[in-house]
Structure 1
Amino acid sequence: MTGPTPMGMIRLVAADLDGTLLDRDGQVTPRVRAAVATARSAGVEVAYLTGRPLHDARVVLGAAGLSGFLAASNGAVVCDRDGAVLSRHVFEGGFGLGLVGELRGLGLVLGAVTESDLVLDSEFPADLAREWCVVANDRTVEDLVRGGAVLKLLAARAGQRADELTAVVRDVAEDVVVTYSTHRFLEISPRAADKGAALRVIAAAAGVALREIACVGDMPNDLVMFGTGGLAVAMGNADDQVRAAAHLVVAGNDADGVAELLARIVDARVAEVR
């Protein structure tokens, strides 16, 4: 790991949503909202990189009055400050259907995500269907994949954690990215789609050097952006792998760790001006 970028040099903070920017109830607290506003006034932009579907992420951020660069479905789709799509990576129909067949052969229950829809097998963990805003179970996973617009596949097996399933899926799923942002299921994306690649797109559009970016997250799907930005920050509630890869650890998501990070960056920038 190279040395971290000093906080006073940070111009953009790339924040994960669940377990990071959002508290345990899936909300942005008033303290975090205020910290984002203060950071922007001080010349520090906040971008949002999440495993959530695009529509769902927009709903959550919109409810909190937040806007900015947004990468959804683990970077499979990236949007600018005005919501225009900057990049998009989808599963081509034939390849996607073949992959779905391989995954079903492992006895996995599946989900499929596009920019606007989420389709889940009926056996998929019910809590996910309750938490995400868009669920369209009148179609099958195969229907969505056949349409050629799927950004990400989800895979789960009863009684097994995502980390236990990772090696099993990687053995059959070639030329894809396999990761997870919760231990309930795996997330499978096109090879070119991850949070690190998304961060490069955002940095170029924002005119910010990668070394001037602080990345904050809590789960293994955040690790690739940790290796892309200049400062890697783990939440206090982060997975052990994430904490080990971070330059520093802030408070957990229920203790407004993102607000803590933003305040420290703003203070460092002010101190440099003095």
Structure 2
Amino acid sequence: MSLKMVVTDLDGTLLTSTDRLTQASVNAFIHLKQQGILPVVATGRMLSEAQFAVEGIGATNYFMGMNGAQTVNLQTRETIYQRTLDLATAQALADILDELGVFYQIYSHTSVYTRQHWLNDMSASGMKAEYIRRFASSILPFSQVNDLGAVKMFVVCKDINKQQLMRERLASLESIILVSSYPNYFEILPKGLNKGDALLRLCAHLGIALHEVAAIGDSDNDIEILSQAGVAIAMGNAFQQVKDVADHIVPGNDDDGVAYALTHIIPQYL
């Protein structure tokens, strides 16, 4: 096996718990690129939220965002793939989440939206402080869902009872899936959409075989991409079900686990 691509998740993987890159990870990716390996970010975030990390590690060729809803050639700005929720489903989701009183954002391909009352007090949202510092000013208010072109819903809910109610209510909607992207973070996506399918499409586009790809992740939304990749690496802080599909387990995201993967594991496959 000779790897040609290394794909990394962001939250809980490449980024620390305070939403930052470490110099060890940056240096490891620089060395990886010097060996001719293509670095790619695959995340639940949209590109504008991930740009600092994409540029920080030099993963500036291709981007898989919003859990597979958008794959982009960053050099040409060509959209390789994109998908949205249907209008009826998006409205039903907003109705359920509003009724539950949980914080949520609606992602389109270009913008992030939330209700005005959440914008008035983002500190109550449960989002990481660093995310709020970086991105709160770019989040837009919305009133009508059908104007947005919704790709996904992103929910933060720390209340266990509300989490259960949300799961029960969403179970009635057959056209969506609910996955966790970080503790107390939930992604509501069109059914069949995931990072694994995004990897399949990108590999087909580039003529790279799946066994020539290594993937690193930590959460439920990384299971499909780790299952598809030739080398699957789970973080030490990963959910157990993610570790169960991994070939290797590395230290956690606050202990330079990605840097460890790039310097100690990836060389075994070059």
Shorter chain as denominator, the TM-score bin is 0.7 to 0.9
The residue aligned with 2:159 is 159
Q: Structure 1 159/247 Cα, relative in aligned 2: closer, same or farther at 3 Å?
A: same
Shift of residue 221, structure 1, vs aligned partner: 0.9
The residue aligned with 1:118 is 112
User: Which whole-Å deviations, capped at 9, do the CAs of 1:153-175 have from their partners, x for residues lacking one?
Assistant: 12345522897466424422221
Shift of residue 99, structure 1, vs aligned partner: 3.3
Shift of residue 24, structure 1, vs aligned partner: 2.5
| Inter-partner Cα distance in structure 1 for 2:249 and 2:207 | 27
Shift of residue 89, structure 1, vs aligned partner: 0.7
Provide TM-score, normalisation by structure 2: 0.84
Given the alignment of the two structures, is residue 20 of structure 1 paired with residue 22 of structure 2, yes or no?
no
Given the alignment of the two structures, is residue 216 of structure 1 paired with residue 216 of structure 2, yes or no?
yes
The residue aligned with 2:89 is 95
The residue aligned with 1:44 is 37
| Inter-partner Cα distance in structure 1 for 2:161 and 2:31 | 39
Two-structure CA RMSD over aligned residues (Å): 2.6
Equivalent residues of 1:218, 1:235 under 8 A apart: yes
The residue aligned with 1:188 is 188
The residue aligned with 1:33 is 26
Equivalent residues of 1:78, 1:86 under 8 A apart: yes
The residue aligned with 2:78 is 84
Q: Structure 1 126/155 Cα, relative in aligned 2: closer, same or farther at 3 Å?
A: closer
The residue aligned with 1:241 is 241
Q: Structure 1 257/202 Cα, relative in aligned 2: closer, same or farther at 3 Å?
A: same
Equivalent residues of 1:33, 1:64 under 8 A apart: yes
The amino acid across from 1:206 in the alignment is L
The amino acid across from 1:139 in the alignment is P
| Inter-partner Cα distance in structure 1 for 2:125 and 2:16 | 21
User: Which whole-Å deviations, capped at 9, do the CAs of 1:69-124 have from their partners, x for residues lacking one?
Assistant: 21111111111241432111112323321332344455544320123322223356
| Inter-partner Cα distance in structure 1 for 2:197 and 2:44 | 14
Equivalent residues of 1:49, 1:72 under 8 A apart: yes
Which structure 2 segments of 5+ residues have no match?
119-123
| Inter-partner Cα distance in structure 2 for 1:63 and 1:85 | 22
Equivalent residues of 2:155, 2:187 under 8 A apart: yes
**After the TM superposition, which parts of structure 1 deviate over 6 Å for at least 4 consecutive aligned residues?**
none
Equivalent residues of 1:92, 1:148 under 8 A apart: no
Query: Which of 52-61 and 40-49 deviates more?
Result: 52-61
Query: Which of 209-218 and 103-112 deviates more?
Result: 103-112
Provide TM-score, normalisation by structure 1: 0.83
Given the alignment of the two structures, is residue 173 of structure 1 paired with residue 163 of structure 2, yes or no?
no
Equivalent residues of 1:217, 1:234 under 8 A apart: yes
